[in-house]
Amino acid sequence: MLFIIGLGLGDEKDITLRGLECVRKCEKVYMEAYTSLLSFGLASDGISSLEKLYGKTITVADREMVEEKADQILSEARTSDVAFLVVGDAFGATTHSDLVVRAKSLGIEVRVVYNASVMNAIGICGLQLYRYGETVSIPFFTETWKPSSFYEKIQKNRGLGLHTLCLLDIRVKEPSLESLCRGRKEYEPPRFMSINTAIEQLLEVEQMEGQSVYNDDTLCVGFARLGSESQMIVAGTMKQLRSIDFGSPLHCLVIVGKTHPVEEEMLDFYKSGTENLEQDVVNVAA
């Protein structure tokens, strides 16, 4: 059997009791490490904490391994119980659906254990989850590649008065273009997009497109390390958030649509630190 198990957003303790029971019964445990990361990233001591609690050796599976060696994982699941651990919820990232489809097509039984993900944890800021439109991803720009397909989606959301969750790029074990040209893979250092970079790119695209979808004065909410003890949540304009140091990853951003009075009341709790940016930003989410 193949178990797809959500780990939640913080650390090793965020796994559910059901998930923990499933992990402990499995002969092989994989942990995906390309759609998101727990608060400790891929640090060896963090992985050791997982292994100590779970009582299992964990194989960290990057995108390359899952895409190129999925057959190995599925082959093992034919004859034994295999756990595939996912940060957040099992299906918070659509890439895991492919693994499930392949398993089912081979007649392998699949069991899913759900958990919290960024898709619902953002509710902490007070913006009601059913008032969100399509979620968008913001990739890192390069000098020659500046995709802007997210702009139209944000435009549609804002036209309907809906909020937009922006998921920010994570680049872990990405081969460099130069090494690929030489036919030998060499990997770039890990990169995690910050809220500041995301806003800079969003405003750059607005300047290019010129449809007045948003601007410096557009209200947003910045989230850093959501679900961990050091999480930071600040509401303010794009201009204000652009000047704040949100600290270590992971970050995400919400572009606020039309708000209900109850939403506005809750958002006010997260505006501390943006009225006067010369003062230290208060971690109002602690």
Question: Any idea what the CATH number is for the domain that residue 205 is in?
Answer: 3.30.950.10
> How do the pLDDT tens digits run along the chain, 286 residues long?
999 999 999 888 999 999 999 999 999 999 887 666 665 555 556 678 888 999 999 988 877 777 777 888 999 999 999 999 998 998 877 778 888 999 999 999 999 999 999 999 999 999 999 999 999 999 999 989 999 999 999 999 999 999 999 999 988 766 556 655 666 666 677 889 999 999 999 999 999 999 999 999 999 999 999 998 899 999 999 999 999 999 999 999 999 999 999 999 999 999 965 544 433 444 444 4
Kindly state the DSSP code that residue 229 receives in the 8-state scheme. T
Sign of CA dihedral 137, 9, 85, 63: positive
Do 67 and 152 lie in one domain? The reply is: no
Instruction: Quote the CA–CA distance of 232 and 281 in Å, as a whole number.
Output: 10
Do 153 and 106 lie in one domain? The reply is: no
Do 131 and 144 lie in one domain? The reply is: yes
Do 223 and 196 lie in one domain? The reply is: yes
Do 183 and 199 lie in one domain? The reply is: yes
Instruction: Quote the CA–CA distance of 156 and 253 in Å, as a whole number.
Output: 17
Nearest to 56, CA basis, from 85, 78, 27:
27
Instruction: Quote the CA–CA distance of 115 and 223 in Å, as a whole number.
Output: 19
Instruction: Quote the CA–CA distance of 122 and 178 in Å, as a whole number.
Output: 38
Do 130 and 24 lie in one domain? The reply is: no
Check residue 262 and give left, alpha or beta (phi > 0: left; psi -120 to 50: alpha). alpha
Nearest to 112, CA basis, from 1, 5, 7, 25:
5
Q: Which residues are annotated as a binding site?
A: 9, 89, 92, 117-118, 168, 226, 251
Domain count of the chain? 2
Do 19 and 161 lie in one domain? The reply is: no
Last residue of a domain, one of 116, 136, 171: 116
Do 145 and 201 lie in one domain? The reply is: yes
Do 134 and 260 lie in one domain? The reply is: yes
Do 93 and 215 lie in one domain? The reply is: no
Q: Which residues are annotated as a binding site for S-adenosyl-L-methionine?
A: 9, 89, 92, 117-118, 168, 226, 251
Question: Which secondary structure element, helix H or strand E, spans residue 48, and what is its range?
Answer: helix 44-54
Sign of CA dihedral 262, 264, 265, 269: positive
Cα 225 versus chain centre, distance: 10
Residue with tokens 């609690």, as numbered in its chain: 53
Instruction: Quote the CA–CA distance of 108 and 286 in Å, as a whole number.
Output: 43
**Who contacts 132 (Cβ-Cβ below 8 Å, separation ≥6)?**
157, 162, 163, 164, 165
Quote the domain boundaries for residue 106: 2-116
Last residue of a domain, one of 94, 116, 138: 116
Helix count and strand count (H, E) for the chain:
11, 12
Cα 276 versus chain centre, distance: 29
pLDDT at 185: 67
Do 132 and 48 lie in one domain? The reply is: no
Kindly state the DSSP code that residue 124 receives in the 8-state scheme. G
Do 97 and 124 lie in one domain? The reply is: no
